Amino acid sequence: MSNKVPTPDELSKIDYTPPKKGWMDTPVEFKPGTWCYGSRPKYLESVDFPNPRDWKPTDDDWKLPENWKEIFLKGMEERLRKYRSFRLFMDICVRCGACADKCHFFIGSGDPKNMPVLRAELLRSVYRKYFTASGKLLGKVAGARELTIDVLKELWYYYYQCTECRRCSVFCPYGIDTAEITIIARELLNLLGLNTDWIAGPVANCYRTGNHLGLEPHTFKNSIEFFLSDIEDITGIKIEPSFNRKGAEILFITPSGDTFADPGTYTCMGYLMLFHELGLDYTWSTYASEGGNFGFFTSNEMAKRLHYKIYAEAKRLGVKWILGGECGHMWRVLNQYLDTWHGPADFLEEPVSPITGTTFENAKSSKLVHIAEFTADLIRNGILKLDPSRNNHLKVTFHDSCNTSRGMGIFEEPRFIIRSVCNHFYEMPEDTIREKTFCCGSGSGLNAGENMELRMRGGFPRANAVKYVKEKHDVNMLANICAIDRAALPPLMDYWVPDVRVAGVHELVGNALVMKGEKERIVDLRGEPLPVKSESTSSEEVKEG
C-alpha cells in the first residue's frame, strides 16, 4: 500500500522551531531590514554627544570607550535616582504576561523579545545584577545577568524596535510603561554614542536650523510659499502668510515634515486656507520651524535643548499664545514635557480663540492649543462654511495616533471635525482605536528606509484593521493627526492595503471649507477631480454611516 500512497520524503521537512532555551541564552541576531544604520560622527559632534565615530551595528567592534560598562552602569544609577518611574518599573513587574501580546512588533514579527515584558526584562536583568541584593547574590536564578557586549548589542537592537507607543502600558495592572523604559535605555545607549543615523541626523539639523529637515530660513519660507500658487489654482484665492512677524496674536508651530512631503503638504495647505479664511492674526517662525522633537528619541536633555525655541520664539515675537498643528510625538512633548522644561510661560496669555471667544481653559498654564481643539470649537460655533460633499469621493476612517491617544487623550475633537467635513466616516474595530490604537509601526524615529521590513511587520496590526474597514465599507482614506503617520502610513498602505490613501484631518477641512470669494472648485487639494455635484448629493449614499 505504501507504494501506492508514497510519502514524499524527498521533501525533507526543516523544523524551524529553535531549540527550547531561555531567552537569556538566546543571543541577539541582527536580521536584515530590522535595524537602522548607526549615526554618523558629524551628527553627534554637532550636538556635543559622546563617542562620535564611524560604526555599523553589524560590526563586531562597536568602537566603544574603554570604560563603557562603567559609563552605562553609572548612567543607570543616576537615572534610578532621577526617575521614580524607572526605579519602580524595574522593581514591580510580576511578569503576568498581560502585555505580552499587546505590542504591534510582537504581533507582527513573532519575535518573543518584542513582548513588552521581555523588552523590559532585557534591562531589568542588568538592573538586578548590579542594583539588587538578590541579583548580586543569586545571579541567574534571580533573573540577573552580567552586562556584556552582547547584552549591550541586544539592548540596542530591541530598544530601537520599540516605538514608545504605550499600548502595553494601558493593559498593565501597574501601569508599567515600556515607553518610559525605552526612553531611558536609549539615553544610556546615547552615553556610548549608540544612536541611529535616522534619529541623529534630524536632531543635528533641528538644533542648527530649527527643523528636522535642516531647512534654512529662506528655504523654509520658500517651502510654505510653494503651496500658495497651488491654493490659488484650486480656489482662486491668494494667501499671504507671514514669517517671524512680531506682534502677531498667535504663533503657529507644526512638524516640518508637513511642509515638505506629500501627503502632509496637503494638510499644510489646509492650515493655510483655514487661517486665511478666518483672517487669523498669526505667524509662522523659521526659527521655531519644527514642532516635532527627535531629541525625545535620544535623551531627555536633547529633547529639552531642541524645544527651547518654542517659548523663546513666542516671547521674542510677543505673541499671546501658541497654536500647534497635527502631530503625535510633538503633542506628547507639548502636553507632558514642555511646560516643565521651559515654563512657566507667564509672558503669554491664557489662550482665547479670537474668532469664537472661547477660552481654552485646559491650556491656561502652558498656553498651547491643539489645532483639533481650535477647529472643533470653530465648527461647533458655526463659524466655518463647510461643504462635506466635496469629500464625498472619500470613505474615511480615523487612525488614533499613539502619542495623542495615550499621552493626551484627544479622541473626540478630530472625530467631530471629520464628521463635520465628510459624509462617509467609518470606525475601525474597537480594540484597534482610541486608547487601544495600534501604532503605525514607525514612531519614535523608526521611520527610516533601511528597516522597512520591521516597519511593515510592526504596522501590520494597524493595516489589518484598515483592511477590515476597506473590505466592509470600501474605505479609501486613512485620516490621522500625526505627521509621522503621514510619512509612515502611505508605504504601509501601499504594501498591505493598496488603494487606501492617507490624509491629515485638516486636508479634509481644506477640501470642505467654503472660502469667501473662492471660484468653483473642480479639484481637491491633491489636484484630483471633485465628485460630480448631482451624484454626490443623493441622500441614501450619505446616510449609510
Partner 1 sequence: MGALFSLFTVLILVLIAFAGVKAGNLHFLFGVVIPYAAIITFITGVIYRILKWAGSPVPFRIPTTCGQQKSLPWIKHSKIENPSNTLGVIKRMALEVLLFRSLFRNLKTEIREEKVVYGSEKWLWLAGLVFHWSFLIIILRHFRLFVDPVPAFMHLIESFDGFLQIGVPRLFITGVILLVSVAYLLFRRFFIQQVRYISLANDYFPLFLILGIGFTGILMRYFTKVDLVNTKQLIIGLFSFKPEIPEGVGVIFYIHLFLVSILFAYFPFSKLVHMPGVFLSPTRNLSNNNRTKRHINPWNYPVKVHTYEDYENEFREKMKKAGIPVEKE
Partner 2 sequence: MELKNLLSEKRDVILERWFDLILKSYPADTSSFLRNQKNQSTNPVGHTILKSIEGLFDKLIEGLDHTSGDSWSSFLDNIIRIKAVQDFTPSHALSFIFDLKKIIREELKNDPVLNSIQDNSGSGNGITVELSKLDSRIDALALDSFDIYMKCREKIYDLKAKEFENKTFRLLQMANLIYDKEEEQRLDKDHGNLKKAL
- Give the residues lining the site for partner 2 (CB under 8 A): 1-2, 4-8, 11, 13-18, 20, 31-33, 100-101, 106-112, 219, 222-223, 226, 260-262, 428-429, 431-432, 448-450, 452-453, 456-457, 460-461, 464-465, 468, 487, 491, 494-496
Query: Which triple of cell numbers denotes residue 140?
Result: 541567574
Pairing status of strand 501-504 against strand 396-398:
unpaired
Minimum CB–partner distance for residue 146 and partner 2 (Å): 24
Using DSSP's 3-state secondary structure scheme, residue 479 falls into: strand
| Nearest distance in Å: CB 530, partner 1 | 31
Which option in partner 1, partner 2, none does residue 82 bind, with CB closer than 5 to 8 A by kind?
partner 1
Question: Which grid cell is 358?
Answer: 472661547
Residue at 291: amino acid letter? G
d(C-alpha 245, C-alpha 267), whole Å: 23
Query: CB of residue 426 vs partner 1: minimum separation in angstroms?
Result: 18
Among residues 469 and 500, whose Cβ is nearest to partner 1?
469
Q: Which is nearer to partner 2, 323 or 489 (CB)?
A: 489
Q: Which is nearer to partner 1, 436 or 521 (CB)?
A: 436
Closer residue to partner 1, CB minimum distance, 77 or 232? 77
461 binds, among partner 2, partner 1, none (CB under 5 to 8 A by kind): partner 2
Beta strands in 296-429 (DSSP E): 321-324, 368-370, 396-398
How many alpha carbons fall within 13 Å on the CB side of residue 133? 0
Distance in Å, CB of 158 to partner 2, minimum: 14
CB-count exposure of residue 491 (10 Å: 0-12, 13-18, 19+): middle
Q: Which does 261 bind (CB under 5 to 8 A by kind): partner 1, partner 2, none?
A: partner 2
User: Cα–Cα distance between 106 and 445 in angstroms, integer?
Assistant: 18
In the complex, the smallest distance separating the C-beta of residue 51 from partner 2, rounded to whole angstroms, is 27
What crossing angle do the helices spanning 68-82 and 178-190 adopt, rounded to 10°? 140
Residue 87 or 473 having the CB closest to partner 1: 87
142 vs 542 by CB, closer to partner 1: 142
**Which of 99/379 has CB closer to partner 2?**
99
DSSP string, 199-212: HHHHHHHHHHHSST
Q: Quick one: 77 or 453, whose CB is closer to partner 2?
A: 453
Residue 212's closest CA among 225, 222, 224, 201? Answer: 201
In the structure grid, which three cell numbers stand for residue 69, read together? 560598562
Give me the numbers of helices (H) and strands (E) for the chain, helices first please.
25, 7
Residue 361 touches which of partner 2, partner 1, none (CB < 5 to 8 A by kind)? partner 1
The entry of partner 2, partner 1, none that residue 175 binds, CB within 5 to 8 Å by partner kind: partner 1
Q: Is the peptide bond between 344 and the residue preceding it cis, with omega within 30 degrees of 0?
A: yes
Helix, strand and coil percent figures for the chain, each rounded to 5: 50, 5, 45
Spatial distance between the Cα atoms of 243 and 356, rounded to a whole number of angstroms? 25
Nearer to partner 2, 88 or 100 (CB): 100
260 binds, among partner 2, partner 1, none (CB under 5 to 8 A by kind): partner 2
218 binds, among partner 1, partner 2, none (CB under 5 to 8 A by kind): partner 1
Length of the chain: 545
Q: Which three cell numbers stand for residue 509?
A: 477641512
Q: Quote the least distance from Cβ 324 to partner 1, whole Å.
A: 11
Minimal distance in Å, beta carbon 265 to partner 2?
Answer: 8
Instruction: Say which entry of partner 1, partner 2, none residue 93 contacts (CB below 5 to 8 A, set by partner kind).
Output: partner 1
DSSP conformation letters of 111-129: -GGGSHHHHHHHHHHHHHH
Question: Based on CB atoms, which residue is closest to partner 2, 111 or 377?
Answer: 111
Which amino acid, one-letter code, is at 393? H
Q: Kindly state the smallest distance separating residue 337's Cβ from partner 2, in Å.
A: 28
List the beta bridge partners of residue 503: 479
Is the bond preceding 388 in cis, omega lying within 30 degrees of 0?
no
Contact of residue 18 among partner 2, partner 1, none (CB under 5-8 Å per partner type): partner 2
Least distance CB 539 / partner 2 (angstroms): 32
For the bound state, the minimum distance from the C-beta of residue 304 to partner 1, rounded and expressed in Å, comes to: 5
List the grid coordinates of 514: 467654503
> What is the rounded distance in angstroms from the CA atom of residue 86 to the CA atom of residue 176?
9
Residue 137 CB, nearest approach to partner 1 (Å):
10
Decide which of partner 2, partner 1, none touches 460; Cβ closer than 5 to 8 Å per partner kind: partner 2
Q: Which is nearer to partner 2, 411 or 495 (CB)?
A: 495
Q: Which does 246 bind (CB under 5 to 8 A by kind): partner 2, partner 1, none?
A: partner 1
Q: Which are the contacts of 3, defined by CB distance < 8 A and separation ≥ 6?
A: none
CA 167 and chain centroid, separation: 13
